[in-house]
Amino acid sequence: MSSLFALGISGSPRKAATDAAVRYALGHLEDKHGLSTEYFSVRAKKINFCIHCDYCIRKKQGCVHKDDLQDLYPVMEQASIWVLGSPCYHGHISAQLKAILDRTRAVLARDKRALENKVGIGIGVGGDRNGGQELVLHTIQDFCLINRMIPVSGGAFGANLGGVVWSRDQGGQGTHEDGEGLASIRKSLNRAVALARKLHS
């Protein structure tokens, strides 16, 4: 069993295509690479928006909101690899995942380097072939860069920016039927694990 630990976050409020993609990713990390994983979905969770009140900066005691992210914060700090999946909403990242990313401010207020050298990959899921998946991935990459994480993809020829899934609006079945999309996830994960192992060796 690998000492690396991966966190997968589904930014979809539905149990559908994005949920299936992130679960597929974690299954690949477990079966192919022997990693321990933990899954978090925004579905049915209470997640407040960051209100930039600076409580986390003044108090250094986490976030002013005592909601369902309280259980996620320690997992964020423990995980060496983050897999962030989002459906494309109006060509962009979901509001739910954006709220989670904004709320990492509570972790970073205590330690600016709390997320340093964690490896992050994105999975963009769209009902249309070109529904905003690349914008989703760019947003996730920007988050990683800003917070000293290392964003990765599977490289040229199929996984240029990360995992890209075309679900054809068929939910989890659509995800599992998109062979190219699943390949882009696997390529990105393989690169993430290789890099994380080098960083933590």
The reported pLDDT for the residue numbered 200 is 87
What is the pTM for the complete model shown? 0.96
CA–CA separation, 53 vs 192, rounded Å?
34
Measured CA to CA in angstroms, residue 67 lies from 5, 10, 76, 100, 111 at distances of: 24, 17, 16, 11, 21
The reported pLDDT for the residue numbered 1 is 45
Domains and CATH numbers, the chain: 5-200 (3.40.50.360)
Residue 66's nearest CA partner among 98, 103, 102, 96 is 103
The reported pLDDT for the residue numbered 201 is 81
- Residues in contact with 93: Cβ distance below 8 Å, sequence separation at least 6, in sequence order: 11, 86, 135, 136, 139, 140
CA–CA separation, 69 vs 50, rounded Å?
12
The reported pLDDT for the residue numbered 2 is 63
Q: What is the pLDDT along the chain (201 residues), one digit of tens a residue?
A: 468 999 999 999 999 999 999 999 999 999 999 999 999 999 999 999 999 999 999 999 999 999 999 999 999 999 999 999 999 999 999 999 999 999 999 999 999 999 999 999 999 999 999 999 999 999 999 999 999 999 999 999 999 999 999 999 999 999 999 999 999 999 999 999 999 999 988
